[in-house]
Amino acid sequence: MFEKVLVANRGEIAVRIIRACKELNIRTVAVYSEVDANSMHVQMADEAICIGPAASSDSYLRIDRLISAAEITDVDAIHPGYGFLSENSHFAEVCESCNIRFIGPSSRAMNALSDKAVSRALAKKAGVETPPGSEGTVENEKDALVVAKKIGYPVMIKAVAGGGGRGMRIAHNDVSLVKGYHTARSEAEKCFGNSGVYIEKFIENPHHIEIQILGDNKGRIIHLGERDCSVQRRNQKLIEESPSPLLEHKFRKLRDKIGKAAVRIAEAARYTNAGTVEFIVDDNGNYYFLEVNKRIQVEHPVTEEVTGIDLVRYQIELAMGEPLRHSQGDIEIKGHAIECRINAEDPFGDFRPSPGRIEMYYQPGGRGVRVDTHAYAGYSIPPTYDSMIGKLIVKGADRREAIDRMNRALNEFMITGVKTTIGFQQAIMQDPNFRRGVYSTNFVEQFLGGARYELIEEKT
Ligand code: ADP
Ligand code: ADP
Ligand code: MG
């Protein structure tokens, strides 16, 4: 049993992990940058260590400082959360070699899925379709043109190391392909320190559907159903739900198929711990593998709400070497859950980040409502990190009840001092197409462009 765990992250996910540790009677160590000294995770943990200045390259990404903090505090394990070093196999290896358990997949499994091009090849070997595209990375614009000619426009140029919706470009013709190829490469180099890009067919009117998986050290892997994350802006998720309305109504037979495909990919990588296999589904029910997120995901709570399984607790137990307690047949989906990512952004100002001090803060409650956040009245959101300040998750007996509850809970949520996405998400809860469950990843752009509905003005 772990006695002490270091949380190598900040914000709501650090709070989420500390809570799971407390319930397991495990002591916790928080790490923080200079601007995060007053952050909630620092106050909640048993011990806290400052690891450097605000810039994440000087703090949350510093493996040497994290390992020193772990050694000084004598922890048994490190939980990396999401983002930062969570998918860095070198960090996992360093932990392993220092005799500190890494709460996540083994470095071997991470290496088997090291980047998106490698993962595409692995999926193909496991018999799962990927969007038509290049074999591996594309090394020059001539090869890019050859691939595009073969698969046909529109195509996407994607960074092999990309994440968080960044590092991708669409091209509709040769001219935009050549331009996009070079900008994607330099952007990828700047953001991810890796200029590798590949090309895949742009799937029209796509639905983002992903499968939560869990694996133990004995090679057993199960899946916990799907999440629909098609409500995105600029390829970044804004609202997620489980089950997916597309699989509930239109393609009922797909759920089982995609679930099994996800498990096959995970097995091929000898995957351990929690992970997510992402797919894109078109309007004809064709599904294509996108990537594996080798970590806990932002939207994990919707799966927790419909399966009744605590995923972070499970991650810790699996990392301790415990076997899976569930077989595939034990997994039952009950009711419907929705999550809204509450971002400190201005929906009336092109979603520009809105850092600053939260003046008033009142969060919703009542039946079926959960808020995962590090925010509180008086908290100052630093401009340095991403703008998500919390997640509002609701559960209902069915989708309609969940939407009505989300609408009510968003209405109750009061945050003043900074701008937030709350009013925007409330308007989506009232949109007839969203309510009917008929939407793809084009939804948000159509919604914003259509101007059929007034955004609900915030009560500030
Ligand atoms: P999820 O599917 O869990 O929502 P996202 O792709 O939105 O995952 O990323 C979750 C967090 O991790 C975000 O804060 C995002 O900015 C960050 N992130 C994801 N991938 C990377 C990456 N390759 N490099 C840097 N940050 C990343
Ligand atoms: P990230 O690592 O940033 O999460 P993904 O490969 O998972 O990148 O893609 C993020 C989103 O971008 C998807 O959910 C989808 O909306 C869009 N996308 C990615 N690839 C394609 C594609 N081939 N066709 C259409 N949309 C795509
Ligand atoms: Mg993704």
Mutate which of 86, 298, 302, 342 to test ligand 1's pocket (most atoms within 8 Å of Cβ)?
Answer: 298
Q: Look up residue 155 and give its amino acid.
A: V
What whole-number distance in Å separates Cα of residue 179 and Cα of residue 176?
5
Q: How far apart are the first and last CA of the chain?
A: 48
Token representation of residue 268? 């091929």
b/e per residue, 410-449, with b = 16+ CB within 10 A? beebbbbbbbbbbbbbbbbbebeebbebebbbebbeebee
Q: 183-216, pLDDT tens digit by residue? A: 999 999 998 989 999 999 999 999 999 999 999 9
356 Rama class: left (phi>0) / alpha (psi -120 to 50) / beta = left
Mutate which of 10, 16, 61, 82 to test ligand 1's pocket (most atoms within 8 Å of Cβ)?
Answer: 82
Give whole-number Cα distances, 62 to 123, 182, 326, in Å: 32, 30, 36
Strands 336-343, 388-396: pairing kind: antiparallel
**Which ligand is located closest to the Cα atom of residue 274?**
1
Mutate which of 155, 235, 239 to test ligand 2's pocket (most atoms within 8 Å of Cβ)?
Answer: 235
Beta-ladder partners of 198:
158
Nearest ligand 1 atom to alpha carbon 298: 3
* Ligand 3 centre distance from Cα of residue 278 (Å): 6
pLDDT of residue 450: 65
- The continuous run of DSSP H or E covering 141 comes out as helix 141-151
* Ligand 2 centre distance from Cα of residue 46 (Å): 39
Q: Is 129 in the pocket of ligand 2 (CB under 6 A)?
A: no
Helix axes 399-412, 422-429, angle to 10 degrees: 150
Please give the full DSSP string across 71-95, using - where no structure is assigned. Answer: HHHT-SEEE--SSTTTT-HHHHHHH
Strands 388-396, 356-357: pairing kind: unpaired
Cα within 13 Å of Cα(290), Cβ side: 27
Question: Is-above-0.85 flag for pTM?
Answer: yes
Nearest ligand 1 atom to alpha carbon 388: 14
Q: How many helices (H) and strands (E) does the chain have?
A: 16, 22
CATH architecture of 207-449: 2-Layer Sandwich (3.30)
* Ligand 3 centre distance from Cα of residue 293 (Å): 7
What whole-number distance in Å separates Cα of residue 185 and Cα of residue 197?
6
pLDDT of residue 26: 98
pLDDT of residue 457: 46
Atom 16, ligand 2: residue with shortest CA distance:
235
Return the domain boundaries, the chain. 4-103, 132-201, 207-449
Nearest ligand 2 atom to alpha carbon 166: 3
Helix axes 311-319, 11-23, angle to 10 degrees: 70
Q: Look up residue 319 and give its amino acid.
A: A
* Ligand 2 centre distance from Cα of residue 231 (Å): 12
pLDDT of residue 453: 46
Helix axes 63-73, 89-97, angle to 10 degrees: 30
Question: 4-103 has which fold?
Answer: Rossmann fold (3.40.50)
Mutate which of 246, 290, 442 to test ligand 2's pocket (most atoms within 8 Å of Cβ)?
Answer: 290
Token representation of residue 45? 């943990």
Give the active site residues.
295
* Ligand 2 centre distance from Cα of residue 156 (Å): 9
- Residues framing ligand 1 (Cβ under 6 A): 82-83, 161, 163-164, 192, 237, 293, 297-299, 386
Give whole-number Cα distances, 113 to 354, 363, 421, 423, in Å: 35, 39, 34, 38
CATH architecture of 132-201: 2-Layer Sandwich (3.30)
* Ligand 1 centre distance from Cα of residue 82 (Å): 7
Angle at 313 between CA 391 and CA 119, to 5 degrees: 75
Residue 155: strand, helix, or coil: strand
Q: What is the dihedral of CA 414, 458, 445, 454, to 10 degrees?
A: 140
Residues of the chain with pLDDT under 70: 450-460
DSSP 8-state secondary structure symbol assigned to residue 133? B
**Which ligand is located closest to the Cα atom of residue 299?**
1
* Ligand 3 centre distance from Cα of residue 460 (Å): 34
Atom 15, ligand 2: residue with shortest CA distance:
235
Q: Is 87 in the pocket of ligand 2 (CB under 6 A)?
A: no
pLDDT of residue 164: 83
Nearest ligand 2 atom to alpha carbon 202: 24
CB neighbour list of residue 201: distance below 8 Å, 6 or more residues apart: 131, 132, 133, 151, 152, 154, 155, 156
Residue with tokens 């932990």: 95
Residue 225: strand, helix, or coil: strand
